[in-house]
Amino acid sequence: MSLSLRALCPLARIDLPRLAEAGDYAQQGSLVEQAIAFIRKILQEAYEGFEERPVSVRAGFADLDSNGRDFLSLYALPNFLFHYSMTYAILRVEGVPIGKRDFDAFHDYPVGFTFSG
């Protein structure tokens, strides 16, 4: 959830909330609920004009300075897609029975379907 907060808070010009570290599955669920509640409290007006506003954040050890449009399209969204894709790949490698529909919610194939002959 920190990725969502680290993308939205700079665009809304608000400080990141401090959330506890999650140790187990139940704690992770609680953190997700806390983050969603925090995001829902952000007023839509806070984002008005974000496209041209300056945004300065740290990404790992790098300092990023850009406008809101570039921050969102060149950093936040690609970063989200990277982590989303890696999570999907790890789950697949670990044998979790998920498919393309679970990834994009559009594709639908019957169980056991394969493109190979």
CA distance 24 to 45: 36
- Whether residue 84 lies inside any domain: the answer is yes
Q: How far is CA 93 from CA 53, 84, 99, in A?
A: 41, 14, 12
pLDDT in the model for residue 18: 86
Q: How far is CA 23 from CA 16, 17, 30, 50, in A?
A: 20, 18, 11, 35
Q: How far is CA 102 from CA 6, 36, 96, 97, 106, in A?
A: 25, 21, 11, 10, 8
- Whether residue 114 lies inside any domain: the answer is no
Would you give per-residue pLDDT tens digits along the chain (117 residues)?
Answer: 688 999 999 999 999 998 877 778 888 888 889 999 999 999 999 999 999 999 999 999 999 999 999 999 999 999 999 999 999 999 999 999 998 899 999 999 887 788 886
- Whether residue 109 lies inside any domain: the answer is no
pLDDT in the model for residue 7: 95
In three-state secondary structure terms, 2 is helix
Number of domains making up the chain: 1
pLDDT in the model for residue 117: 64
Which structural domain range is residue 87 located in? Answer: 2-104
List the CATH number of the domain containing 18. 1.20.120.450
pTM score, whole prediction: 0.80
- Whether residue 115 lies inside any domain: the answer is no
The length of the chain in residues reads 117
